[in-house]
């Protein structure tokens, strides 16, 4: 695709590897070039996962789309994450990233992604339809050091991936929304140099795992997972971390809490984009049905939930704890009069995946309200506790 000023957007090719790597290293970290190679040379991702903007033979901008899976209430949601974005300084402001984001979103749609989730610099990606919806876990200073006696620490390898995945699955189980590492991403993590995966062993048996940033960045411990308190203590003690990304509600999180300073008051969140709210709501019908079935009032009730996005609206019939097909309608500026809720379109991601639910959003957003049947809307759209694992640590 030729852009307006003669630049060309095209799929990346093997012969671009060194030029893409040089661009990523120049605009980010040297390890970014290694990360890119791991992705495009892996058959589960491949070169088709990456695109570039070129000026002749010069690669001036690049982006990569990763396949992810969000899990809400036990239901998998196909998702995509844009990563490894970089632009040559001389070509900034010429629409290269906008074109690459368009490519990424088209590719995501073709791959069946219902959600886009990503890390990114402040504000920038809001220009492309993203909103802040899923909060980061806070990173907190270490104020004390527990004992690691009786345990050993070693760097994780590819052979340890099943154990690492099992630990993370156990730690993520209590959360309403989770995003685990995909199988390819686990392979990339144990091979990359931008972070280090660790295993703690007791009598030769793995009992804890985590991931740390390089020493030159200050050792931050994240993705903490442990089978018991002593294992979590050993993980902190033996990695020598000076900061920890908290994990409330987990075995490791509770064990490390006494050794951490209070969290800073920061509103940091993942960017989330919902390209087609109707398609996502249709996909989530089993989740809504399970929420109704678990409710004393709605388990056996029959009715209809109306949600207006103002310029359009949806109707979701329900009966016996099951939700029927989502029906789409036109403009509905006053949904309360139709017995429905009003949700601004850019609040859909927060409504479905955020920590406030419709009740909390109503208290924060003038154009979100539950309508006359507040209990129904609170049942369908409760606060969501999340735990998201990404290639790069937020």
Q: Nearest 5°: CA angle at 141, between 138 and 144?
A: 130
Q: Which residues contact 80 (CB under 8 A, 6 or more apart)?
A: 65, 66, 67, 68, 104, 107, 108, 111, 113, 115, 116, 117
Q: Which residues contact 92 (CB under 8 A, 6 or more apart)?
A: none
pLDDT range class, residue 20, cuts 50, 70, 90: very high
How far apart are alpha carbons 311 and 277 in whole angstroms?
13
How far apart are alpha carbons 79 and 81 in whole angstroms?
7
The pLDDT score that the predictor gives to residue 117 is 98
Q: Which residue has the higher pLDDT, 180 or 217?
A: 180
pLDDT range class, residue 14, cuts 50, 70, 90: very high
For residue 116, pLDDT over 90 is answered with yes
The pLDDT score that the predictor gives to residue 66 is 98
In tens, the pLDDT along 317-361 reads 999 999 999 999 999 999 999 999 999 999 999 999 999 999 999
pLDDT range class, residue 4, cuts 50, 70, 90: confident
In tens, the pLDDT along 338-350 reads 999 999 999 999 9
pTM for the model: 0.96
For residue 5, pLDDT over 90 is answered with no
The pLDDT score that the predictor gives to residue 88 is 97
The pLDDT score that the predictor gives to residue 217 is 86
Whole-number Cα distances in Å, 311 to 68, 341, 361, 366: 30, 13, 19, 16
Express as a percent the part of the chain with pLDDT over 70: 100
The pLDDT score that the predictor gives to residue 13 is 98
83 DSSP β-pair partners: 64
In tens, the pLDDT along 52-79 reads 999 999 999 999 999 999 999 999 999 9
The structure tokens 């989730």 sit at: 117
Instruction: Report the b/e string of 198-235 with b at 16+ CB within 10 A.
Output: bbbebeeebbbbbbbbeeeeebbbbbbbbbeebbbbbb
């Amino acid at each position: 695709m030729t852009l307006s000023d003669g630049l060309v957007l095209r799929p990346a090719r093997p012969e671009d590897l060194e030029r893409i790597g040089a661009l990523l290293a120049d605009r980010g970290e040297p390890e970014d070039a290694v990360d890119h190679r791991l992705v495009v040379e892996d058959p589960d991702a491949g070169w088709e996962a990456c695109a570039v903007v070129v000026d002749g033979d010069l690669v001036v901008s690049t982006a990569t789309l990763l396949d992810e899976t969000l899990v809400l209430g036990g239901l998998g949601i196909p998702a995509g994450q844009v990563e490894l974005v970089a632009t040559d300084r001389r070509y900034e402001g010429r629409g290269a990233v906008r074109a690459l984001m368009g490519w990424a979103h088209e590719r995501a749609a073709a791959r069946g992604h219902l959600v886009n989730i990503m890390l990114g610099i402040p504000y920038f990606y809001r220009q492309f339809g993203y909103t802040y919806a899923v909060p980061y876990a806070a990173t907190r200073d270490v104020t004390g050091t527990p004992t690691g006696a009786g345990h050993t620490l070693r760097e994780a390898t590819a052979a340890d991936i099943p154990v690492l995945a099992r630990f993370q699955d156990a730690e993520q189980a209590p959360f309403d929304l989770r995003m685990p590492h995909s199988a390819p991403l686990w392979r990339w993590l144990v091979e990359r140099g931008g972070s280090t995966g660790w295993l703690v062993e007791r009598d030769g048996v793995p009992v804890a795992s985590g991931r740390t940033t390089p020493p030159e960045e200050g050792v931050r411990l994240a993705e903490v997972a442990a089978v018991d308190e002593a294992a979590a203590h050993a993980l902190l003690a033996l990695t020598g971390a000076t900061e920890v990304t908290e994990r409330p509600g987990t075995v490791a999180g509770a064990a490390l809490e006494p050794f951490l300073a209070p969290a800073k008051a920061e509103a940091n969140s993942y960017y989330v984009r919902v390209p087609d709210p109707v398609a996502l709501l249709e996909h989530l019908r089993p989740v809504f049905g399970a929420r109704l079935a678990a409710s004393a009032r709605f388990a056996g009730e029959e009715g209809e939930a109306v949600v207006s996005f103002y310029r359009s609206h949806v109707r979701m019939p329900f009966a016996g704890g099951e939700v029927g097909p989502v029906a789409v309608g036109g403009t509905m500026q006053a949904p309360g009069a139709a017995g429905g809720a009003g949700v601004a379109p850019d609040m859909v991601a927060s409504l479905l995946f955020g920590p406030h639910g419709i009740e909390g959003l109503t208290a924060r957003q003038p154009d979100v309200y539950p309508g006359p049947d507040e209990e129904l809307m609170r049942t369908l759209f409760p606060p969501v506790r999340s735990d998201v694992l990404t290639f790069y640590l937020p």
